[in-house]
Structure 1
Amino acid sequence: MGPAGVRTRTAAAVLALLLTLTTAACSTAGEDAGDGVIRLRFLSLAWQKESVDANKALVKEWNAAHPGVRVEYVQGSWNSVHDQLLTSFEGGEAPDVIHDASDDLADFAYGGYLADLRTLLPERLTADIPAESWRTTTFGDGVYGVPFLQEPKVLIANRKLVESSGIRLPTAERPWTWEEFREVARELTRTMGKGRYAVAWPLKEPVATTLNLGLSGGGKLFHRDADGKARIRFGDGDAVVPDVIRDQVNEDRTASRTILGSGGSDALPGFFGGKYAMVPLGFSYRQQIAQQAPDGFEWTVLPMPVGPGGAVQGVSPQTLSIAEDTRHKPEAAAFIDFMLRPANMVRLAKGDWMLPTGTAALADPALRAEKDGWSVGTALARGLRPAPAQSVRGYPEWKDKVATPAFQEYYSGAIGERELKHRLERDGNLVLARYQR
């Protein structure tokens, strides 16, 4: 999901947004203005200019067509949204309509902070979004968000380097296997010369990438026992993708070691300079590449490799939710329905350079063009599945305290697979147990 994976939790950021939301609440508290107008606050996490512009334009269009229900756009940030929302929920100042990501909703849904949308949404919207996407926002018996944008991982490749090497380029219909990817990387690295690498894996936030791509290896990691509680079991399928990454870095020397601890943007200068031929990135990074690539630089979008699990990968879609405490749930639901009409969903997808979940929007010709790799992304949409930890309570803590350092050490070669498995399972299940008593 791009920036959603970099949630740093700073007290200053929490306080800043709480003050923003509190100020907005005091000035636009429902019908307290005395003019009979319903006022809703919409917390948006849009951050790229095109996306912010699209969201603000849609809010403006809604307000022009609905003078009795005014929506105020409130700018939030992916960098600390979880703690920002928790503070606003507990303070009774939550926005009415909330933009977030599905992997951040579990604790809020189970905690009673979000409204169950099952009786609020129109049939048009519920039927347009596939069941696989709705699974990402279903917790227990309720649905607590509308999944509307998603992004697969893809390989962004230096077109000249990969085409001149003579290797077979993968397509959505005939992707590389993970083992073939290792062979291709060896050949590319050999032809590129000393100090250059076929692959750069920017894994500053390694957990989501590992788990989501791990579905193609047949991995699952999180399992439900007979008592309904989530347990972590690291099996052979879960090891397929981590083993390839580790081997590329430490054994094959086809992937850069120095870029492991970096974010996706940090890999781009080396990519543009020809140091790396391919970089696995979220689909939305295409916008940054299109804007920053030097003159004459040619790039292409390739599908990620596949394993025994097939051409699938996990995603955590962006979502729109309604606060349980809002006094205007029907109006908030109507605004969400407006935002996610097919034509509007296309505008939001283009603004964020992501894929819409809606089938009508996904069929739009603008999202199926070959330019900038749109057609590759839409071809991958059929293989997108809910991220493995989608409904697991305690996932954020497990990710931060257990999984992130364990995977980082594994990829660097500091620990082996036995220790990785031990830490993920032993320490991880202790964390999850605290949330499932």
Structure 2
Amino acid sequence: MRTRWILALVMGLLLTACSSDDGSSDGRITLRFQSLAWQQESVDANKELVEEWNAVHPDVKVEYVQGSWDSVHDQLLTSFEGGEAPDIIHDASDDLADFAYGGYLAELGELLPERLKSDIPQRSWETATFGDGIYGVPFLQEPRVLIANAKWLKESGVRIPTPENPWTWEEFRSIAKELSGEGKYGVAWPLKEPVSATLNLSLSTGGQMFHRGADGRVTVRFDAADEVVPRTVHDEVNTDGSASSTTLGMGGSDTLPGFFGGKYAMVPLGFSYRQQIVQQAPKGFEWQVLPAPAGAEGLTQGVSPQTLSVAEDSPHKKEAAEFIDFLLQPKNMVRLALGDWMLPTGTEALKDPALHTTKDDWATGTALAAQLRSAPAQSVRGYPEWKDKVATPAFQEYYSGAIDLDELRKRLVEDGNLVLARYQR
């Protein structure tokens, strides 16, 4: 408790140092907006929009506070407990459940204008809905795609998939094998953090993993539909030799040097990795974006969009919601999406011509937007512990060949349900 109290005090002092007086003495309101933007284009876009707001809202000043994806959960928890949370909070939808159920975030249903609520599809709102309330505005999202060596694929003569005619998971495995040989691999799976990638891609095969009963309790199952994606990865690595075992412990960026060097034909990555590829690829390197394989549910896959929330303790919830509405006007949402190389959730923003160009394959990603659904774990209390203590080590061992499918199922289900049960008493 002493450690937590000290952390709360330190974070409170830091956040206070980043903010100015709330202006209550002269009637001017100051809102703190904590952004997690990190790419320079994205940081610039966010700061420019804050400046544009401040230029026309002299009585409600927004102060930009830089946060970090690496530490946001613990930092927010500390600031909530210390009573020093920022008014407007940038996060991801899969990080909101405990904050929403814990009473740290404001319910936004009555605060948001109808324009914004109707512009974002219901499937996106579901990612930030917990119980009967909405606790975040989903605004940026990205599908997982295959980034491919275009020259390699063309020379091989394999069929090139499109959003209208994608590969099946069986076809993907066969083609990865066909592209392999002589020390080269058809695919590199960067699965340092394997859980969300596996669960989100498994929606294409009908996999769900988490099942909510009539009593509201969530349990883990690992059915035939849940097996397809992990079995494909396992067999590519351990049976076919078409996927490199060394990349299993890598993050996405770690695979790029090998990809550029001609070691891997394809790498499954988030759509936003295109920016790194544009910046880092050797001159003349030809690459293209392909849709992820499709299963019984087509190209459906889970996503955890970036979100904007309002702190429950904020004394200026109405003004904070108005700033969010400004930030997410269609033209502004496009600017944020372009800055992060991601897709906007808003239907009007998605129509923007800048998101439908063949340059950098924007059009391929935009064509997948309608297939994105709430990630399976979005509203599951206890998911972070299940992921860290049960699922991550189990998937890592299975993908490396250390355990078989039956042992994977046993750990995910038996050990997993013991973890979730503690959160549902």
Normalising by the smaller structure, the TM-score range is over 0.9
* Paired residue secondary structure (2:110): coil
Within the candidate set 145, 157, 161, 2:136 is matched to: 145
Letter in 2 for 1:104: D
Pair 1:358-2:350 in alignment: no
* Paired residue secondary structure (1:118): coil
For 2:183 and 2:9, locate their aligned partners in 1 and report how far apart those are by CA, in whole Å.
45
Aligned to 1:65: 56
Aligned to 2:152: 161
Q: Residue by residue, what CA displacement relative to the aligned partner does 1:66-118 show, whole Å, maximum 9, x if unpaired? A: 00000000000000111110000000000000000000000000000000000
Within the candidate set 163, 184, 209, 1:221 is matched to: 209
Matches within 5 A, 1:6-405: 18-25=12-19, 27-28=20-21, 30-32=22-24, 34-189=25-180, 193-405=181-393
Letter in 2 for 1:23: A
Deviates more, 1:303-312 or 1:45-54: 303-312
TM-score normalized by the length of structure 2: 0.97
TM-score normalized by the length of structure 1: 0.95
Letter in 2 for 1:22: T
* Paired residue secondary structure (2:70): helix
* Paired residue secondary structure (2:249): coil
For 2:11 and 2:282, locate their aligned partners in 1 and report how far apart those are by CA, in whole Å.
37
Please report how far the alpha carbon of residue 19 of structure 1 lies from its aligned counterpart in structure 2 after TM superposition.
4.1
Please report how far the alpha carbon of residue 195 of structure 1 lies from its aligned counterpart in structure 2 after TM superposition.
1.0
* Paired residue secondary structure (2:312): coil
* Paired residue secondary structure (2:163): coil
Please report how far the alpha carbon of residue 22 of structure 1 lies from its aligned counterpart in structure 2 after TM superposition.
3.1
Please report how far the alpha carbon of residue 280 of structure 1 lies from its aligned counterpart in structure 2 after TM superposition.
0.2
For 2:420 and 2:23, locate their aligned partners in 1 and report how far apart those are by CA, in whole Å.
42
For 1:94 and 1:419, locate their aligned partners in 2 and report how far apart those are by CA, in whole Å.
43
- Contact preservation (8 Å) 1:17, 1:76: no
Letter in 2 for 1:382: A
* Paired residue secondary structure (1:212): helix
Please report how far the alpha carbon of residue 310 of structure 1 lies from its aligned counterpart in structure 2 after TM superposition.
1.8
Please report how far the alpha carbon of residue 246 of structure 1 lies from its aligned counterpart in structure 2 after TM superposition.
0.3
Please report how far the alpha carbon of residue 20 of structure 1 lies from its aligned counterpart in structure 2 after TM superposition.
2.6
- Contact preservation (8 Å) 2:11, 2:78: no
| Pairs aligned (count) | 422
- Contact preservation (8 Å) 1:13, 1:80: no
Q: CA RMSD in A?
A: 1.6
* Paired residue secondary structure (1:214): helix
State, as a whole percentage, how many aligned pairs show the same letter: 72
* Paired residue secondary structure (1:181): helix
Please report how far the alpha carbon of residue 16 of structure 1 lies from its aligned counterpart in structure 2 after TM superposition.
7.2
Change in CA separation of 1:124 and 1:176 when aligned onto 2, cut-off 3 Å = same
For 2:339 and 2:106, locate their aligned partners in 1 and report how far apart those are by CA, in whole Å.
27
Q: Residue by residue, what CA displacement relative to the aligned partner does 1:194-243 show, whole Å, maximum 9, x if unpaired? A: 11101000000000000000001110000001210111011000000000
Change in CA separation of 1:295 and 1:391 when aligned onto 2, cut-off 3 Å = same
* Paired residue secondary structure (2:315): coil
- Contact preservation (8 Å) 2:237, 2:399: yes
Aligned to 2:422: 434
